[in-house]
Chain A
């Protein structure tokens, strides 16, 4: 350990007083992995700096170097004028750090967590009750002080984590992916808090794989494979894309087919579905004529739209994947007896006196992508788990391709595929063994088993990785493997529980290419998500809040419902916040 820092001896060496963090030729390796390569950057006080990049780009490693929890192999890093290695103790005083998993003690209450971190940072708890009251007010956690941290929703945990990192006023606040798993309402709270802090002159570093978050930062550091690709205001990067973003308007039911065609054009670098439309980004210097031709052929309007940071990001990383899913190409079309693939009526789940799902009813058609959205703790997961037979409903009915989930759970389960959060692969089995296991667990006979496994390996290009463990796979391959396991028995209905949480945009696009392909073969997709742009891929979205179904419509209709005079073209996130807040108001009015 470095010698104890003496405040007098370690006066800031940085000449420019506005610089909070200075990174010079930083290098860090873990075994054969080169996590950070000759990184040089500056982070300023009073500013929100986004640390952006796909998974494995080195964001967390950089955060840990900045907090003095990892030692650089080469280069020099100073934070608030202190060297992260030499003045390690001073770093812990000058910085506040919220790790990815918040660092909260789940069996301590909200107030106990706050008191613990206050004392660890040298505050006297008895003389600072006012400060705590204000912090609780700031985080809107005041009504929950006695609740155990483990019982808080994801968004509330996030805010408590932030409150704990804010103790004793750090000069640099480091937040590692604070937006993961947080619903838009809580995220908005978080932005408000961070805004207030930067206004006071604190340097806030916010790492994220969400590009809409990056766009809101005043400055971003864009990392990929340990290298810095861009350093500056997000607008500067977006400006480079000027005139390359287009939208095919109101395509309707043919939008998935059109997206596939567009993505297969050599002039198109990236494309996503936005409600009933298709958003496209052209390659640098590419002619818009092929896209124009596509629009005319489909008889839809092609409109130029302003570039987003996400467009620039994908372009900088070399564009998104192609539009054709080899997986879906191979699949035979799904034949179902009825048009209704999944249905539930008056579905209710109670845990003791707490109702997690309250009287929810809907029907999902064959080949539909059906989204379940809602704030943390709204009952999404509970509803989802009842529909795929993992939880028994307290009341009501649920059916999957005609099988009642209460009576014929086994039969229903054999007709659905399930991809759990974080992929849930067996870390101690090899890739091949994972495939064999899922083939075995769905009772395929030996011949089919060999055939399907060989097919999956070829389709998903897993041949080079067969004896590797899932954890050593690149994220995109890991996701392919999880999808392969869930599709081994060719289910007509596929359940995806936050399939792309914490996954970078490029991997996410590849995933949706497969999903779009599957639905074109008639596979029904049920999906929960926190990504609003993922909600845009859905045919219909069911919005849950406080255990109830508060809205069920197409993404475009939901957006329209949130339109006001001042906001004629609301985003999906605006719609989400609007719907949840008006449902809350209605509930309060009724009470």
Chain B
């Protein structure tokens, strides 16, 4: 075989490169390979580009944490003029959708069936109670405790309506010097979509960074290609970086797409700069990819890798990052646990960069935390990956 013989010389030069720990050309070859694979695998593109759109649509339209137009009943047992006025005050609120009745039994059934989230009873002796002006409560408020947040909200809001109405009576006597009016910063309309959509980007990035990376490395073990690559001069560092770079790129592209969608379609403001958004996203990719890599070095089959990624990556990012549930409302132990979840820092910075602006006092500690957890993951992954099959 003349061809193979001619190769002898080339082989010799190849051996010099082979003994180098890190070789740019080898890395490039691995990155090229990984990119081809990612582009040809429909599931990768589905996860990177279709899933974000679906998630964003879901959080924009299907999931709403807004207490807007909460349906309550107002039972008007008193025929008096004051009672009528209070009832009218309930009818005029922006956040409650009042349904009137004259008998509490009517609304009680509706509360049980879930049609109403609570009701307010304006009792028969309302006028007398009002006239006495003592500390006795004016109305009775019943709420549906199976939705604790809404129940709280209904209770507080109903109290508020009664108090404001009561204050109005006093004001008729002596006009107030100061008028108290609540204002909500950063999200004046209190639209949950504005807070949810930036957070959803963190979820998408977790899926791409952790889940996809864990799966693609496990796939190489499963198909036996890892064994072949390990038997070449390529080093562990090259193999790992070769895996990560393409998914880093994919994650950033996906973030850009999701951000464009958020701003362009869902009317979420981007008050901070695009550069800051990209920097934060890049910083988050470090722990996300590191975690994926660690999982894949422990689980060498795709099924197990997917399960671990789901339970240690996706679910914590979903439940404990402050994306859906406020961290301050969690039990103290869980609050401490959230410090270990990189998505928590990313959700916070994302909300800030979208709704508030470039607040570096918030970004810097979060960037540091994300990088630190990322470095930990990488060190663990490097330790767990050896260049053999043991």
A196 near B232: Cβ-Cβ < 8 Å: no
**Chain A residue nearest in CB terms to B234:** A120
Interface string of B154-181 (1 = CB under 8 A from A): 0000000000000000000000000000
Interface string of B299-314 (1 = CB under 8 A from A): 0000000000000000
B228 near A119: Cβ-Cβ < 8 Å: no
A97-B228, A97-B231 known; A106-B18 Cβ under 8 A: no
B4 near A98: Cβ-Cβ < 8 Å: no
**Bound: A124/B25 CA distance, A:** 8
- Of the listed residues B10, B224, B234, the one surrounded by the most CB atoms of chain A closer than 10 A to its CB is B10
**Chain A residue nearest in CB terms to B220:** A105
B1 near A7: Cβ-Cβ < 8 Å: no
- Of the listed residues B8, B13, B228, the one surrounded by the most CB atoms of chain A closer than 10 A to its CB is B228
The residue from B18, B227, B390 contacting A122, defined by CB atoms under 8 A apart? B18
Tell me, yes or no, whether A104 is within 8 Å of chain B by CB: yes
The residue from A69, A100, A115, A119 contacting B231, defined by CB atoms under 8 A apart? A69
A70 near B6: Cβ-Cβ < 8 Å: no
- Of the listed residues B1, B28, B236, the one surrounded by the most CB atoms of chain A closer than 10 A to its CB is B1
Binds B, one of A87-95, A233-241, A280-288, A472-480: A87-95
Interface string of B89-133 (1 = CB under 8 A from A): 000000000000000000000000000000000000000000000
Residues on the A chain within 8 Å of B25, using CB: 119, 122, 124
**Bound: A140/B19 CA distance, A:** 32
A107 near B26: Cβ-Cβ < 8 Å: no
A93-B19, A102-B224, A168-B7 known; A117-B388 Cβ under 8 A: no
Tell me, yes or no, whether A169 is within 8 Å of chain B by CB: yes
B28 near A119: Cβ-Cβ < 8 Å: yes
A117 near B232: Cβ-Cβ < 8 Å: yes
B388 near A70: Cβ-Cβ < 8 Å: yes
Residues on the B chain within 8 Å of A161, using CB: 228
- Shortest CB-to-CB span from B185 to chain A, Å, is 50
B14 near A123: Cβ-Cβ < 8 Å: yes
A1-B387, A67-B231, A120-B30 known; A107-B23 Cβ under 8 A: no
B229 near A169: Cβ-Cβ < 8 Å: no
**Bound: A401/B259 CA distance, A:** 64
- Shortest CB-to-CB span from A195 to chain B, Å, is 10
**Bound: A105/B32 CA distance, A:** 13
Binds B, one of A130-138, A206-214, A304-312, A484-492: A130-138
**Chain A residue nearest in CB terms to B2:** A134
A120 near B37: Cβ-Cβ < 8 Å: no
A197 near B228: Cβ-Cβ < 8 Å: no
The residue from A101, A120, A131, A164 contacting B3, defined by CB atoms under 8 A apart? A131
A104 near B225: Cβ-Cβ < 8 Å: yes
- Shortest CB-to-CB span from A173 to chain B, Å, is 11
A-B contacts, CB under 8 A, total: 154
Residues on the A chain within 8 Å of B233, using CB: 89, 92-93, 120-122
**Bound: A1/B382 CA distance, A:** 12
**Chain A residue nearest in CB terms to B9:** A169
Residues on the B chain within 8 Å of A165, using CB: 228
Residues on the A chain within 8 Å of B18, using CB: 89-90, 92-93, 121-122, 168
A5-B19, A106-B223, A112-B33 known; A169-B7 Cβ under 8 A: yes
A99 near B231: Cβ-Cβ < 8 Å: yes
B231 near A88: Cβ-Cβ < 8 Å: no
B19 near A70: Cβ-Cβ < 8 Å: no
A residues 201-254 near B (Cβ < 8 Å) are none
The residue from B2, B3, B387 contacting A88, defined by CB atoms under 8 A apart? B387
Residues on the A chain within 8 Å of B5, using CB: 200
Interface string of A71-92 (1 = CB under 8 A from B): 1000000000000000011101
Tell me, yes or no, whether B279 is within 8 Å of chain A by CB: no
- Shortest CB-to-CB span from A124 to chain B, Å, is 8
**Bound: A102/B14 CA distance, A:** 22
A138 near B3: Cβ-Cβ < 8 Å: yes
Tell me, yes or no, whether A68 is within 8 Å of chain B by CB: yes
Residues on the B chain within 8 Å of A106, using CB: 223
Residues on the A chain within 8 Å of B21, using CB: 4, 89
A122 near B386: Cβ-Cβ < 8 Å: no
- Shortest CB-to-CB span from A20 to chain B, Å, is 15
Residues on the B chain within 8 Å of A120, using CB: 26, 29-30, 229, 232-234
Residues on the A chain within 8 Å of B146, using CB: none
A residues 433-485 near B (Cβ < 8 Å) are none
**Bound: A100/B389 CA distance, A:** 14
Tell me, yes or no, whether B36 is within 8 Å of chain A by CB: yes
Tell me, yes or no, whether B15 is within 8 Å of chain A by CB: yes
A107 near B37: Cβ-Cβ < 8 Å: yes
Range of interface residues on B (Cβ < 8 Å): 35 or more
Tell me, yes or no, whether A39 is within 8 Å of chain B by CB: no
Tell me, yes or no, whether A421 is within 8 Å of chain B by CB: no
B13 near A169: Cβ-Cβ < 8 Å: no
**Chain B residue nearest in CB terms to A67:** B231
The residue from B14, B33, B235, B390 contacting A71, defined by CB atoms under 8 A apart? B390
Tell me, yes or no, whether A64 is within 8 Å of chain B by CB: yes
B residues 333-390 near A (Cβ < 8 Å) are 386-390
Interface string of B19-54 (1 = CB under 8 A from A): 101010110111011001100110000000000000
Tell me, yes or no, whether B16 is within 8 Å of chain A by CB: yes
Tell me, yes or no, whether A152 is within 8 Å of chain B by CB: no
- Shortest CB-to-CB span from A587 to chain B, Å, is 30
Tell me, yes or no, whether B11 is within 8 Å of chain A by CB: yes
**Chain A residue nearest in CB terms to B5:** A200
Tell me, yes or no, whether B256 is within 8 Å of chain A by CB: no
**Bound: A169/B14 CA distance, A:** 9
B232 near A121: Cβ-Cβ < 8 Å: yes
Tell me, yes or no, whether B17 is within 8 Å of chain A by CB: yes
A101-B223, A200-B4 known; A122-B228 Cβ under 8 A: no
A64-B389, A121-B14 known; A101-B224 Cβ under 8 A: yes
The residue from B10, B19, B33 contacting A90, defined by CB atoms under 8 A apart? B19
B19 near A200: Cβ-Cβ < 8 Å: no
Residues on the B chain within 8 Å of A70, using CB: 388-390
**Bound: A130/B6 CA distance, A:** 10
**Bound: A92/B17 CA distance, A:** 12
Tell me, yes or no, whether B141 is within 8 Å of chain A by CB: no
Tell me, yes or no, whether B230 is within 8 Å of chain A by CB: yes
**Chain B residue nearest in CB terms to A109:** B36
Tell me, yes or no, whether A570 is within 8 Å of chain B by CB: no
The residue from B19, B33, B386 contacting A108, defined by CB atoms under 8 A apart? B33
**Chain A residue nearest in CB terms to B6:** A131
Tell me, yes or no, whether A128 is within 8 Å of chain B by CB: yes
The residue from A88, A103, A128, A130 contacting B227, defined by CB atoms under 8 A apart? A103
Residues on the B chain within 8 Å of A110, using CB: none
**Chain B residue nearest in CB terms to A1:** B387
A122-B16, A122-B23, A196-B1 known; A103-B28 Cβ under 8 A: no
A residues 115-168 near B (Cβ < 8 Å) are 115-117, 119-124, 128, 130-131, 134-135, 137-138, 161, 164-168
The residue from B13, B26, B224, B236 contacting A103, defined by CB atoms under 8 A apart? B224
A93-B233, A99-B227, A122-B16 known; A115-B29 Cβ under 8 A: yes
B231 near A95: Cβ-Cβ < 8 Å: yes
Residues on the A chain within 8 Å of B2, using CB: 134
- Shortest CB-to-CB span from A160 to chain B, Å, is 11
- Shortest CB-to-CB span from B229 to chain A, Å, is 7
**Bound: A353/B21 CA distance, A:** 49
B41 near A107: Cβ-Cβ < 8 Å: yes
Q: Which 4 A-B residue pairs are closest in the complex by CB-CB distance?
A: A103-B228, A134-B3, A119-B29, A122-B17
Using CB atoms and an 8 Å cutoff, list the residues of chain B in contact with chain A.
Answer: 1-8, 10-11, 13-19, 21, 23, 25-26, 28-30, 32-33, 36-37, 40-41, 223-225, 227-236, 386-390
6 pairs from A and B in contact (CB 8 Å cutoff): A88-B387, A89-B21, A93-B14, A112-B36, A122-B17, A196-B4
Please give 18 more A-B residue pairs, beta carbons under 8 A apart, in addition to A102-B228, A137-B3, A161-B228.
A5-B19, A69-B389, A97-B228, A100-B224, A103-B228, A106-B223, A108-B33, A112-B33, A116-B30, A117-B232, A121-B14, A121-B233, A122-B17, A134-B4, A135-B3, A164-B228, A168-B14, A168-B18
